[in-house]
Amino acid sequence: MSALANNSIVAVIGSGAMGAGIAQVAAAAGYTVKLYDTRAEAVSKALLDIGKMYAKLAEKGRMTADEAAAATARLQAAGSLADVSDCALVVEAIVENLDVKRGLFAELEALVSDDCILATNTSSISVTAIAAKLRRPERLVGMHFFNPVPLMALVEVISGLATSEQVAATVYDTSIAWGKSPVHAKSTPGFIVNRVARPFYAEGWRLLNEQAGDAATIDCVLREAGGFRMGPFELMDLIGHDVNFSVTQSVFGAYFNDPRFTPSVLQQEMVNAGFLGRKSGRGFYLYGEGAPAPVAQAESAQATPEFVALSAAIGGDGRGHSGVIRSLVQRLEQASITVSRRVTHEGQAMDEAPALHCNGAAIYLTDGRSATQRAHDNQHPDTVLFDLALDYAGAKRIAVARADQCSDAAYAAVVGLFQAAGFIVTRLDDVPGLAVMRTVAMLANEAADAVNQGVCTVAAVDIAMQKGVNYPRGPLAWADAVGVQHIVTVLHHLAQGYGEDRYRVSPLLRRKLATGATFHAE
Ligand code: NAI
């Protein structure tokens, strides 16, 4: 472990929301912290707020009163930049502006010792660029915290082209000493989280644009079937559409307009309208007293079908496509629905994928084709698709899409079947890949590309998305669970269906597919 010694002095420059949070965790971990800001009142406010936070933690029993007092005593205001000259680590959390950050680090370099580490909390500027003008650029590293810092465990430790390995390793180990979960990443636009998370929003916008459902319905499916803490629209309402749109534009531009990252015209309109989310009282939802609760689409109660069959063997190790089907079948069986393994002629569809059958309907896990397309391909009109769930055993809701050719009776039977197993059934309009599957496939695709391009490791991307944005499962662990083969099939069908480069399959997914390898060992 090469963390900075516990008696080292840490300076935090910029005492806004991020700086105060960083100072709070460093002092709580036993380090002396000097706080500086061009506005002295920002430092006083931060010191006051942090003191209150410690008192709250002590009340909740998360630290003792003595620890809270000691941590408070370790925090000092720096009256001028010169006061931080004895620090071993400086963490910068000032305005997000390259020239201002460069200016600050140039000033700092003239003050601090040669072995002092300079860290930037930038979320969008190249660490390489911030370091470029320094006398010793190898000492500058990104230390990217997430908001609110005391609650979010992730720290992305970002190496620019010149950053020394030793410096990155020290900051990584120091983050652990501060109680955080760090990951290493190369300085590339969006680093890990702000890049890999883009499809979570982008696919939401696509679904809305194609009228798969309204925002409340899509949010609910991502939450109650996908297991995400928040759906994309409620999350963007929280972040602010102006902020989210600007991050999307910045990543899109930084990747030279790669269609993967194309911003949404719909979001631009939200910004144009001033519907920025919670902070403006209106985004997709209304906020404030008396605001109506969002209502997601749900199908009305239908009769349970009498005969249900499964058309394929679903053995195996529980991972992959057949593992997904098996867990859904288990949920049906636990609800005392008999699922016959004998398929009668009525359910015989011309599709190799495992299907459930009832009342003439063939029911498949979405593979990235629309239900209408699949019904046409199979010459089986009564086709209904269901969406991915994080865990069918516990999911409250299941999303389905019916083919345009599907009869009302067959569709009603499918709804009745899932309702009998305790699901709320939400119908999405027949968009390719439905909501959770399409989002997860694109998250996995982006995560695989980040790994393929040497931005980070497989373990790092999965930790980053869980600890930085609370995803219920790392995208690559999710690809393993659904099966790399199925993820590639979904992406392939999306690419084919839309004819857009946006859905091109990551070379790393193809490589895993060729060998049958998974991202994580079991
Ligand atoms: P903020 O606006 O709350 O605080 C910035 C503080 O820096 C202000 O108190 C300001 O007076 C001070 N400041 C500005 N220029 C200065 C200078 N030259 N020297 C000393 N102090 C100066 O901003 P916030 O949200 O705390 O963000 C700070 C940095 O952290 C930005 O670079 C931002 O991109 C990054 N960041 C922000 C996240 C967020 O969710 N807010 C998440 C991760 C990173």
pLDDT value for 422? 98
Ligand 1, atom 39, lies closest to the CA of: 147
How much is the pTM?
Answer: 0.95
Distances (CA, A) of 77 to 20, 40, 72, 472: 12, 9, 11, 39
Taking the CA of residue 145 as reference, the ligand 1 atom at the shortest distance is 43
Distances (CA, A) of 277 to 185, 239, 261, 418, 428: 31, 8, 22, 34, 24
Pairing of strands 154-159, 308-310: unpaired
pLDDT tens-digit readout, 201-246: 999 999 999 999 999 999 999 999 999 999 999 999 999 999 999 9
Using an 8 Å Cβ cutoff, are 308 and 339 in contact?
A: yes
Mutate to test the pocket of ligand 1, among 13, 38, 44, 158 (most ligand atoms within 8 A of CB): 38
Mean pLDDT by 10 residues, the chain (522 residues): 90 97 98 97 97 96 96 97 97 97 98 97 97 97 97 97 98 98 98 98 98 98 98 97 95 96 97 97 95 96 94 69 90 94 60 88 97 96 98 97 98 98 98 98 98 98 97 98 96 97 97 95 80
Catalytic residue (choose from 109, 156, 203, 234) = 156
| Distance between Cα 94 and ligand 1 center (Å) | 3
2 noted as active-site residue: no
pLDDT tens-digit readout, 72-86: 999 999 999 999 999
pLDDT tens-digit readout, 253-294: 999 999 999 999 999 999 999 999 999 999 999 999 999 999
| Distance between Cα 23 and ligand 1 center (Å) | 13
pLDDT tens-digit readout, 301-343: 999 999 999 987 666 566 788 889 999 999 999 999 999 987 6
With CA atoms as reference, report the closest residue to 446 among 464, 428, 467: 464
All structural domains of the chain, each given as residue ranges with its CATH number in brackets, are 9-187 (3.40.50.720), 194-280 (1.10.1040.50), 308-427 (3.30.750.190)
123 noted as active-site residue: yes
7 noted as active-site residue: no
Whether 147 lines ligand 1, by a CB cut-off of 6 Å, is yes
Catalytic residue (choose from 159, 194, 264, 359) = 194
Distances (CA, A) of 422 to 110, 361, 401, 504: 66, 20, 18, 37
